[in-house]
Chain A
Amino acid sequence: MYKVAVPRLDPGMQSGKIVEWLKREGDHVEKDVPIVMIEGEKTTFEVNSPGAGVLRKVLFEPGMDVPVGQTIALVGELNEPLPVDAESQQTPEPAMAQQTTVVPAISRAQEPSASPVARRMAREVGIDVSKIKGSGPGGRIVREDVQKAIEQMKTQPAAVAVTTQEARSVPVAKTIRLAGKRKATAERLSYGFHTTVPVTITMDARMEAVLDQRKDLHSRTGEEISITAYVVKAAAKALEDHQMINSSLEGDELRVYGDINIAVAINTPDGLVAPVLPQTNTKSVPEISRSIRDLTERSMQNKLVVSDLTGGTFTVTNLGGYGVELFAPVINPPQCAILGVGRTSERPMIIEGQVRAASMTTLSLVFDHRIVDGVPAAQFLQRVKELLEDPKKLD
C-alpha cells in the first residue's frame, strides 16, 4: 500500500490545502501520474501517485488544510486490506496564529478599477465588485454598474456571484450523512459542560440602528437580512480585537486561532448542528446572512459536508425567534466561548430621564474561565454591543 502525503515544497511550508482530487476512489492510477492538486503558500501544484494501483482511499476533502507529511490518500491493490485508522475522516485544526503568516493582500493591479461609491455600494449589499463589468471611462466600475447588478440580484437572486458562493463551487468528493445528531450533540455538549469552567455574563444592546439598516437594505435590494447575521458579524469583528476569546485550551497549550470562523447553531428535525462560516470577519453582513440561509437549508436536507462542520472557533446561537429573552448556552468544545442571542423586543428604557420604548436584545456570553477572565470577556461583549448599536462600523 502506497501512502500519498503532502510534500514540503519550501522550508517554510507548514501545510497544504487540497484543491481538487484528479482521481476518484476506485480509479486505476499509474506511477507518477497526478492524482491531486494542492495549494501551498506560494503555488498550486500536482502530487503524483507514488506507485501504480487503485486509488483506494481519499482521506481529506477539497478545501481542507493538511499539515506537511500527513497522509492524504492510499493507493494499493484492489483487494489489499486498508489500515484500520484509514477508515475515519480526520479533522485538521484551524490555522493557528503563531503559525499563520500575514495573508497577502490582493494586489491592487489585479483588482478592477472601481469608483469609491461603486465599492461602497457593492460592499453594503454584499456583491463582489470584481464580478461586475465596468462601463465608466477606461472600464471603471461606476455607480450605475453596481445599480444594475443590484437590480439583477432583485430579479434573479442567483445571477450575481457572491464570494461565499465561490467556496461552495469547489467540487465536493462526497457528502456525509449525519446520522445520530442527537447522540453527537449529547456527547459534545456533555464534554464541553464537564471540561470547561463556564461563566455567563449578559448585556443589553439597543437594536434600532440595526433594524433601520435592515429596513433600508430591504427597500433597496429586497433582501431580508437576519438579526443573527448582524450579531455574527459583530462577534467576528469584536474577535479581531479580542483574540484570546478566539481560542481553545488543549492540554497545557492555549491555541489562539489566526482565522475567525464562526459557527452558527441551527436546529434541525434530527438535532442540533453548528456549521461554520469560514473567515467570518472578512464577509459583509448580507453575505453572512446568505451563508446562514444556505447552511440552514442544507442542514435541513442533510447536505452539509465535513468542511461545513469543522474549523469553528466561536459559536453564535439565537433563540430569539422562539421568544427567549435570556439563556446561558453550553460552550461548543474545544471553543472558548459561545454567544447567546435573545429576542429583539420593545422594552421600556430610561433614555435621557424619560421612560421610552426601545428595541432591545439581550446578549449572553458564556466563556471558559480557564482561558479568559471576566474583565476581558466583558470588554469583548461590550465591543459586540457597541458594534450592534452602530452597525456602520461593521463594514
Chain B
Amino acid sequence: MPELTYADALREALREEMLRDPRVVLMGEEIGVFEGVYKVTRGLLKEFGPERVRDTPISEAAIAGAAIGAALGGLKPVAEIMYMDFLPIALDQIATQAAKMHFMSGGKLKVPMVLRTQYSLGRVHGAQHSQFFPSVLFQVPGLKVVLPSTPHDAKGLLKSAIRDENPVVFIESGMLYRTKGPVPDGEYVIPLGQCDVKKTGNDITIVAVSRVVTEALAAAVKLEEQGITADIIDPRTIQPLDLPTILESVKKTGRLIIASDDVKCGGIGSEIAAQVVEEAFDSLDAPILRVAAPDMPIPFSPTLEQAYMPNAQKIIEAAKRLIG
C-alpha cells in the first residue's frame, strides 16, 4: 500500500471529490495562490481554476457565512478556517445558522458544507494559535465533528464529510500533517460515527483522539513490556459518537482512560466518561481517568508546552494508577 502524508491524503480526498462532483468548491484564506499554510490545497487552483478554488478576505464570519449561502444555493462548499483559534469569530454562522437550518425548516433545507480547520498544539505557536476546543462544537446539536488521526482516516472521513447532507466540522491536527501512513489506492470512504480500534488488548481501554492516538499507541507498546495490554480506540468522530464500540471494550477491560489534547474541564474525556458511567457502571473495575491538557492557556515556551501536552508517559502513569 502506498504511503502518503496526512496533508497529501487530505488533498487526495479534496481532489477526488472535486472530480466526482462539480458542485464541490473550496474557499478560505491563502488556499489558492499560496496553496494553504500546510499545503493541503497544493495544485488545486491550477487544476480546477479560480471558480472552484477561492481565496477569501481575512474574515472567518464571512467565510462560514458564504459557505452556508453556497450550500443552501446548491453547491457543496469546503471552507477552511486556518487556525481553530479563529473559529469562534465564525461561531454565530456555524452554531446558530448552519447547525439549525435543517431543523428549523422541518428538514426542507440542507446545508451540505464542510468546515475544515486545524489546531497547532505542539508547534510552539503560543496561547492564541494552538487552541483546541472541540467541546464548543460537539455541544451544538446539528453539527458533526470529525477528528482524524491517520492519513488513511483523514482521506476516507473527509470524503464522507463532503458527501454528507449537513454541516460537518473537520478538525485536523497541525502536528500530523507531515506524518506518513498507508493509504489504499483508489476510492474508499469511512462512514462518520464509527470508532476504529487501532490495537486490541485485555487490561485497559484507552480512548484517544486526533494527535494523541499516536501517543496512546506508543504508551501501549511500553505497557505491554510490563504485561499490560490495551484496547486503543479512536472515536474518529466525536459527534456522533460510536458509544457501543467503547462500551463493548470497557465491558471487557473494566478500565477506561480518555486521552485528548483539549483541556480537562468539560472536554471530550468528560463527556465520554459520563456516558460510560451511565451505560456501563456495573462493568467498571476502576475509576475512569482523563489524560488531557491542564485548565490553563497554552504556554509559549517550548519546554512548558511539552510539559502541558498529553503524552505517552502521562497515559502510562494513568494506566498504572488504575491497575496498581
Seen from chain A, the residues whose Cβ lies within 8 Å of a Cβ on chain B are: 115-120, 136-138, 140, 142-143
**A120 and B285 contact, CB distance less than 8 A:** no
**A136 and B324 contact, CB distance less than 8 A:** yes
**B284 and A137 contact, CB distance less than 8 A:** no
Nearest residue, chain A, Cβ from B251 = A117
Partner of A117, one of B282, B322, B323: B282
A264 CB to nearest B CB, Å = 30
**B324 and A116 contact, CB distance less than 8 A:** no
* Residue picked from B285, B321, B322, most chain A C-beta under 10 Å: B285
**A136 and B282 contact, CB distance less than 8 A:** no
Nearest residue, chain B, Cβ from A141 = B285
A115 and B321 alpha carbons, distance in the complex (Å): 14
Dominant SS at the B interface?
helix
User: Nearest 8 pairs between A and B by C-beta?
Assistant: A137-B324, A120-B282, A115-B285, A116-B284, A143-B285, A117-B285, A142-B285, A117-B254
**A116 and B282 contact, CB distance less than 8 A:** yes
A317 and B286 alpha carbons, distance in the complex (Å): 43
A87 CB to nearest B CB, Å = 54
**B324 and A117 contact, CB distance less than 8 A:** no
Which residues from B are CB-within-8-Å of A138? 324
B207 CB to nearest A CB, Å = 18
**B321 and A136 contact, CB distance less than 8 A:** no
Dominant SS at the A interface?
helix
Seen from chain B, the residues whose Cβ lies within 8 Å of a Cβ on chain A are: 254, 281-286, 321-324
Nearest residue, chain A, Cβ from B277 = A116
A340 CB to nearest B CB, Å = 34
A142 and B323 alpha carbons, distance in the complex (Å): 10
**B281 and A116 contact, CB distance less than 8 A:** yes
A365 CB to nearest B CB, Å = 32
Given pairs A117-B283, A137-B322, A137-B324, 4 additional interface contacts (CB within 8 A):
A119-B282, A136-B286, A136-B324, A137-B286
Nearest residue, chain A, Cβ from B284 = A116
A136 and B283 alpha carbons, distance in the complex (Å): 15
A118 and B254 alpha carbons, distance in the complex (Å): 10
- Known contacts A115-B285, A116-B282, A117-B285; A143/B254 CB under 8 A: yes
Which residues from B are CB-within-8-Å of A118? 285
27 A-B residue pairs with CB within 8 Å = A115-B254, A115-B285, A115-B286, A116-B282, A116-B284, A116-B285, A117-B254, A117-B282, A117-B284, A117-B285, A119-B282, A120-B282, A120-B283, A136-B285, A136-B286, A136-B324, A137-B286, A137-B321, A137-B322, A137-B323, A137-B324, A138-B324, A140-B286, A140-B324, A142-B285, A142-B286, A143-B254
* Residue picked from A116, A119, A138, most chain B C-beta under 10 Å: A116
Nearest residue, chain B, Cβ from A124 = B282
